[in-house]
Structure 1
Amino acid sequence: MDKRNRIIAIGLIGIGLLLLSGKWISFFTIVALLLLLLGIYRIRNGDIKKGYIFLGIGAGLIMLDHLILVVAICLISLGLFYGKSKKVQTEDGFIQKTSFMSNFDWDQSPWVIRSMSIWHVLGESDLDLSLGMPEERETVIMFQGVMGDLDLDIPDYYGVEIEAFVLFGSINFDGKKDSGMMNRFTWISPNYSVSDYKVKFIVSYIVGDIDIRLT
C-alpha cells in the first residue's frame, strides 16, 4: 500500500474507533438490537420479507438514536476499503471510486470489464459478464460498503473467482441461499486455470443481498 492510502486508511479507522468509544447503550439501542436479532432469526427460518423489515426498522432506530455511531461505522468501513483496495489491486491503472450512493446497470448493454474498487454507503449493482468486454486478461472488481445489493450473471466461458462476505443479509449462489449473519462465500469456476480471461470479484457489505447466477 502506498504511503498516502496507508495514512488515509489508518486515519479513518482511528476516527471511527474514537467515535465508537463513547457509551451507546440506551433503550432505543436495546430495542434496535432486538429487532436486528429478530430479523436475522426470521431470515434464517425462511421468512425473508419480514426478516428484512425487522432489520430495516432496527437499523433505522440505530441511525436515529446514534447518528455518530453510523458515521463511525461508515468511516471504519471506508478506512478498511482504502487499506484493502491497494492490496488486492496489484496492477496500476485501476479505477477507485467512493460515493454515498451508486447504481450500476451493467446488465442492459455492453460494458467494459476493467479492474476497479468501488465503495458506497448504499449501492445497487447488476452485472452480466456475457455483455462485458474485457480490457485485460486478468481483472479484479471489488465492491465494498455499508449496504449493497449485487446481482451477478456468469457465463461458462469466463474464469471467475469470487470472495463474498455479508455481515447481515444473504448470499444466493445459483439457487442455493444462505441468509442470516456473517455469511461468507468463496468459489472458483472449474475452468479458471485454463480460461483466456479471468475475473475476480471481491464483495463485502455490512448489510447486503448478493445473487450469483451461472448462465
Structure 2
Amino acid sequence: MRKGWLHFLLAFLLIGTGIVLMLENLGVIDKTLYISWGMILAAILMLTGLKLWWDRLAGHGGSWMFGSFFTIYGLLVLLGEIGVIIFTFSDVLKLWPLLFIYIGFGMFLGGSRKRFRVNVDTEDLSGSSFEKKHNNKKMHTVIGDHQYNAENWKVEPMQLWNAVGDYHFDFTKAFIPEKDTPISVKGWAGDIKMLMPENLDYRIEAFVKAGSINLLGKTSDGINRSTTFETPGYQDATRRLTIDIDLKAGDVRVDKV
C-alpha cells in the first residue's frame, strides 16, 4: 500500500476508537466493546467508501455515489453492531430512498465518474422498432458515466441504457467501419455529448422529455423536445452512423469539428 493510504487507515481507526470511547463515557454504550466480524466488515465498508470519496476529490477516479453509499451503509451497520441503533447487514434495502438522492444529484453533477455496470446480451428487451431492426449488443447500467473518447476506439452497434449518468462520445478519435453502425442511447436522467468529424455521415433522432437538445448550434429546450437531423450524404454513404437518443430528463449536445 502507499504511505498515504496507511495514514488514511490509521486516521480512521483513531477516529473510530475515539467515537466509541466517547459513547462509552456518555453512557450510550453500557458495556465494554468487543470486536466482532460484523464490526470489522462494517469498518471495511466505511473505509472503502471513504477511499472512493477521497480518490474522487483528488481526481484519481473514485466514485461519489458508491463512496457515499458504502460510507453510510458501513456506518449504520457499525452503529447497529455497537447497539446505538437497530440496523444489520440485511437492512440494506431500507436505504433504497438514496436512489432518489443520487438521481437528483446526477441531474446536476457531471464528470468522468464510472460506476457498476451490468452487461446484458439478449435478443430483445424493450421491443422498440430500432432494436428489432438491428442486432446490437446491449448494455444496461444502473448509475454511471461513460466515456467513449480513447484514441482509435472501435465503433460497434450498441444499445445503451442508463438510469442516471452521462455519456461522452468523441467520434473524431474513433475507428468507424465501412458500414451502417446503429447506436441507441436511452436513460432516465443525464447528459449526452457527441463530437462528430467533418467527413462523417450520420442520422440522429433525439427525444428529451424534459431538457434541451443542441444539434450543431441549434437549440431546442423545454418539454417533449424532439429533433431529427441527417447529413446530405447519409442515404448513399456506406460508412455512416444511425443514432437514436431517448432521455426522460437531461441535455443532448452534438457538435462537429
Normalising by structure 2, what TM-score?
0.49
Unaligned 5+ segments in structure 1 are: 1-59, 65-79
What residue in structure 1 maps to residue 137 of structure 2?
A: 95
The CA distance in 1 between the partners of 2:161 and 2:154, in whole Å, is 19
What residue in structure 2 maps to residue 192 of structure 1?
A: 234
Q: Does 1:83 align with 2:124?
A: no
Identity %: 22
Q: Does 1:124 align with 2:166?
A: yes
The CA distance in 2 between the partners of 1:196 and 1:102, in whole Å, is 33
Q: Does 1:178 align with 2:213?
A: no
Question: How far did 1:151 drift?
Answer: 0.6
Q: Which structure would you say has the larger Rg?
A: 2
The CA distance in 1 between the partners of 2:209 and 2:161, in whole Å, is 16
The CA distance in 1 between the partners of 2:256 and 2:209, in whole Å, is 24
Match of 1:206 among 248, 251, 255: 248
Q: Does 1:111 align with 2:148?
A: no
Deviation sequence 1:117-144 (CA, Å, 0-9, x none) = 0111112111111111124511110011
What residue in structure 2 maps to residue 42 of structure 1?
A: none
Write the letter of the residue equivalent to 1:82. Answer: S
* 3-state secondary structure, aligned to 2:143: strand
* 3-state secondary structure, aligned to 1:196: coil
Structure 1 153/87 Cα, relative in aligned 2: closer, same or farther at 3 Å?
A: closer
Deviation sequence 1:141-172 (CA, Å, 0-9, x none) = 00111012111111122110000000100001
Question: How far did 1:109 drift?
Answer: 2.6
Question: How far did 1:100 drift?
Answer: 0.8
| Aligned positions of 1:27-176 closer than 5 A | 63=100, 82-84=126-128, 87-92=130-135, 94-135=136-177, 137-176=179-218
Q: RMSD in angstroms over aligned alpha carbons? A: 2.3
The CA distance in 2 between the partners of 1:151 and 1:158, in whole Å, is 16
More strand by share: 1
The CA distance in 2 between the partners of 1:141 and 1:119, in whole Å, is 11
Contact 2:189 2:248 in 1 (8 A): yes
What residue in structure 1 maps to residue 92 of structure 2?
A: none
Normalising by structure 1, what TM-score?
0.58
Structure 1 119/144 Cα, relative in aligned 2: closer, same or farther at 3 Å?
A: same
The CA distance in 2 between the partners of 1:112 and 1:207, in whole Å, is 28
Contact 2:134 2:182 in 1 (8 A): no
The CA distance in 2 between the partners of 1:124 and 1:89, in whole Å, is 25
The CA distance in 2 between the partners of 1:214 and 1:176, in whole Å, is 12
Write the letter of the residue equivalent to 2:126. Answer: Y
Question: How far did 1:105 drift?
Answer: 1.4
* 3-state secondary structure, aligned to 2:145: strand
Runs of 4+ in 1 over 6 A off after TM superposition: none
The CA distance in 2 between the partners of 1:102 and 1:142, in whole Å, is 17
